[in-house]
């Protein structure tokens, strides 16, 4: 099937061609058609909805009716075993109650098509499986939708007084109660409306969200995870696209171009020091949390300054100074090298041997070298 159907057959209402001359004149900056597969955008924002109004939102009216059970991050191996035991105990405690609905959710994306699955367990009732497919949505939207479907199924049973949602995406579940402006408000409004009615019907009704990381392979969640990855859906065009997916696609395209420019010799120059991550892959630029270099060195301005000088080779060392003063002597004070170069400092110079590891091209070892050798790449009279 041809992914790009002619715009004359399926006109795109959000394309540049739909703008009036006045709109084009009033618009600042460059314009591009972000997605030619779309003929509409899913509604995302709803900041003025009553569900988010102070005094009317669910966290103000029913603050004690919902809770989050999170995984502690300290001892990973020990906590994994403890978490599995906690989940088993929770199921054992609630499995025989006809008043409790246990919802296990997961979502996966293949070829830009999301599969959202919820398994609803209620005592003395057959397992209910809810499966939905959606094209051009993000994983967060797919996870929110499957939570929405599970809660809707549970709330439709008037006998239910307690809902337990088990998910591997607890940060997504928290979006339900986030009253700030975000592109998932449309999903949040529907879920909050369901929960409002659920809590109003009985003040003792409650909902719990349990975090279950996928790597645990806990039996009930693992079954849902396998189900979500077993489908091979085929997209049918044209179809609507979510605002967040559109933003993510454009962002990914920009990052790819950014990385290509960065890897070109004229983009980062010949003196740039390529470092490796813990898997010994070359570190590439990223906008997430300031990028990999800022994440590693951002806690110390002094250390970050030394790192910048070393990586760019713009440092008070002979190799750099020789570019401007070619007739001066810039031999290393260790008397073992004619020019004090970056490579010599990192791998050979005896004055900087307080920490030694042959893999100083690895970011983690490079950090240790700069910490244990504070005079390296520093403006000192060495």
* For range 235-257, the mean pLDDT: 74
pLDDT over 90, % of the chain? 31
Q: Which two tokens stand for residue 363?
A: 């970011």
Q: Which CATH superfamily is domain 50-228 in?
A: Ribonuclease H-like superfamily/Ribonuclease H (3.30.420.10)
* pLDDT at residue number 75: 61
* pLDDT at residue number 232: 83
Q: Rounded to an integer, what distance in angstroms lies between the CA atom of residue 58 and that of residue 177? A: 8
Using the predicted structure, report yes or no on whether residue 213 has a pLDDT greater than 60. yes
Q: Is 59 left (phi over 0), alpha (psi -120 to 50) or beta?
A: alpha
Q: For CATH 3.30.420.10, list the domain ranges present in the chain.
A: 50-228
* For range 128-152, the mean pLDDT: 91
Give the strand pairing for 239-241 and 38-41. Answer: parallel
At 148, is the pLDDT very low, low, confident or very high (cuts 50, 70, 90)? very high
Quote the strand ranges of the chain, DSSP E: 38-41, 66-69, 100-110, 113-122, 128-135, 162-167, 206-211, 239-241
Using the predicted structure, report yes or no on whether residue 47 has a pLDDT greater than 70. no
| Contact (Cβ atoms closer than 8 angstroms) between residue 106 and residue 130 | no
At 356, is the pLDDT very low, low, confident or very high (cuts 50, 70, 90)? low
pTM of the shown model: 0.64
| Contact (Cβ atoms closer than 8 angstroms) between residue 307 and residue 373 | no
Residues 6+ apart with CB under 8 A from 313: 271, 272, 273, 319, 320, 342
Using the predicted structure, report yes or no on whether residue 308 has a pLDDT greater than 50. yes
* pLDDT at residue number 216: 93
At 41, is the pLDDT very low, low, confident or very high (cuts 50, 70, 90)? low
Using the predicted structure, report yes or no on whether residue 46 has a pLDDT greater than 60. yes
Length of the chain: 382
Residue-wise pLDDT tens digits, 359-368: 778 888 888 8
* pLDDT at residue number 76: 66
| Contact (Cβ atoms closer than 8 angstroms) between residue 316 and residue 381 | no
């Amino acid at each position: 099937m041809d992914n790009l159907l002619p715009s004359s057959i399926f006109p795109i209402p959000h394309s540049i061609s739909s703008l009036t001359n006045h709109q084009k004149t009033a618009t600042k900056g460059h314009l591009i058609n972000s997605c030619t597969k779309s003929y509409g955008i899913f509604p995302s924002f709803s900041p003025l909805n009553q569900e988010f109004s102070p005094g009317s939102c669910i966290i103000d009216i029913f603050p004690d009716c919902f809770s989050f059970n999170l995984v502690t991050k300290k001892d990973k191996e020990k906590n994994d075993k403890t978490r599995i035991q906690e989940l088993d105990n929770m199921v054992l405690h609630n499995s025989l109650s006809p008043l409790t609905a246990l919802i296990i959710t997961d979502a996966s994306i293949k070829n830009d098509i999301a599969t959202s699955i919820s398994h609803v367990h209620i005592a003395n009732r057959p397992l209910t499986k809810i499966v939905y497919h959606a094209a051009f949505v993000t994983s967060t939207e797919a996870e929110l939708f499957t939570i929405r479907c599970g809660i809707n199924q549970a709330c439709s049973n008037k006998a239910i007084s307690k809902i337990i949602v088990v998910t591997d995406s607890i940060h997504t579940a928290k979006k339900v109660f986030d009253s700030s402006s975000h592109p998932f408000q449309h999903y949040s409004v529907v879920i909050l409306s369901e929960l409002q009615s659920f809590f109003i019907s009985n003040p003792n009704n409650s909902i719990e969200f349990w975090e279950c990381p996928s790597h645990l392979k806990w039996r009930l969640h693992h079954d849902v995870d396998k189900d979500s990855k077993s489908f091979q859906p085929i997209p049918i065009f044209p179809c609507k696209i979510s605002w967040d997916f559109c933003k993510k696609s454009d962002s990914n395209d920009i990052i790819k171009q950014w990385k290509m420019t960065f890897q070109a010799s004229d983009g980062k120059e010949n003196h740039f020091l390529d470092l490796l991550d813990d898997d010994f892959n070359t570190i590439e630029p990223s906008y997430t949390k300031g990028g990999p270099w800022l994440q590693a060195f951002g806690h110390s301005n002094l250390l970050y300054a030394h790192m910048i000088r070393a990586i760019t080779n713009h440092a008070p060392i002979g190799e750099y100074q020789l570019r401007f003063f070619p007739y001066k002597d810039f031999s290393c004070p260790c008397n073992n090298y004619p020019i004090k170069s970056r490579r010599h400092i990192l791998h050979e110079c005896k004055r900087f041997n307080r920490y030694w590891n042959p893999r100083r091209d690895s970011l983690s070892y490079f950090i240790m070298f700069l910490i244990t050798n504070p005079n390296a790449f520093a403006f000192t009279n060495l």
